[in-house]
Amino acid sequence: MARQSPQRPDADEPELDDTDAAAAADEVEEDRPPANRALWDEVRIDPVEIALPAGTGFTLRAYRQARELTPTDVAERDQDDPFLARRQVVETEEDEEVVILDEEFAALSAEEDDEDEEKDAKSRRKGKADASDDEKAEADEDDAEDDEDEDEAGDEEVPVFLTHKGRLLLFKTPESLVTFIRSGAPNDLSQLDSWNELSERLEPADIAPLDEDTYELDLVVENLRGGHDAWDHELLIEAGEIARDLAYALRLPAVLDMLSAGSSLDDLDEALRASVNGGVGGFLGRRRLKKIGAQTASLGWRTIVGKISAVVDWRD
């Protein structure tokens, strides 16, 4: 659509200078009804705004105990996953299949693969040894502890988003998000006991994410490429938080592995968190950051943002 030329002001109407225009804009903002935070607190769901390279959208996120949730179904999504198509299966000299997720990220995970191989070797040696009565008793105790760990995992609060069949639903406007919620369309948040109440009471004005629920994943790679002195610590820390939540809720094991404890990107996250603190911890954190390669970090995050973007379902 061609852009229209601005109309000349009416001769009887005074022109507004920049100060008057700003005041008028502020007055419009004040006329808008405030977001109903009481509603969000009652239903224990929050609006979230996520910026990706393809655009910015609104969605919803909640935290519930794992045992209360049915994970999103990814069967249909994985059949059309562009990243799966890029995987290469190569035959090693031992005729064992090796799956390479991304050639560009292979270097980042090489060290972790070596550690996994060492653990597997130890497990095989342990399996060959004859277990004594004491070892069997200890194994029984370990099994009991594993059962307790599973129970604790079920009680752990985990993230769940407005998703459907393994895809994150992102809406470009608050109005389109509210329309979808009121429509009764299937989604993974509808399993929550507070969903019906939200769908009945929600208004577009309520879609106003808090600052801590606004994430700019589209800026992460460029920021990392700028070098250590340009790194925005708050931006990168928040990116790690939302990426972990999305990877869990959307069942993206490759992203979870890249951000798991001991990985290079997890080291980056820990160093960033330490550096924002004062004292000796902050000093040591800044020293650790200097040792982290900007190219490696930006490459890893480019992969993460790409994998998340590939499972987004944009809604107007």
Instruction: Note the pLDDT of residue 173.
Output: 97
Nearest to 188 by CA among 92, 64, 102: 64
Which range among 5-14, 71-80, 116-125, 291-300 shows the weakest confidence by mean pLDDT? 5-14
Q: Does 9 have pLDDT greater than 50?
A: no
Instruction: Note the pLDDT of residue 289.
Output: 84
pLDDT tens for each residue of 79-96:
876 555 554 443 334 444
Instruction: Note the pLDDT of residue 102.
Output: 56
Instruction: Note the pLDDT of residue 36.
Output: 73
- Calpha distance 181→202 (Å, rounded): 9
Higher-scoring residue by pLDDT: 23, 180: 180
- Residue 158 pLDDT class (50, 70, 90 cuts): very high
Which range among 1-5, 76-80, 303-307 shows the weakest confidence by mean pLDDT? 1-5
Nearest to 191 by CA among 170, 162, 169: 162
Q: Rounded to two decimals, what is the model's pTM?
A: 0.70
Which range among 63-77, 90-104, 205-219 shows the weakest confidence by mean pLDDT? 90-104
Nearest to 259 by CA among 114, 109, 110: 109
Instruction: Note the pLDDT of residue 7.
Output: 45
For the record, the structure tokens of 57 come out as 């959208």
Instruction: Note the pLDDT of residue 275.
Output: 86
Instruction: Note the pLDDT of residue 172.
Output: 97
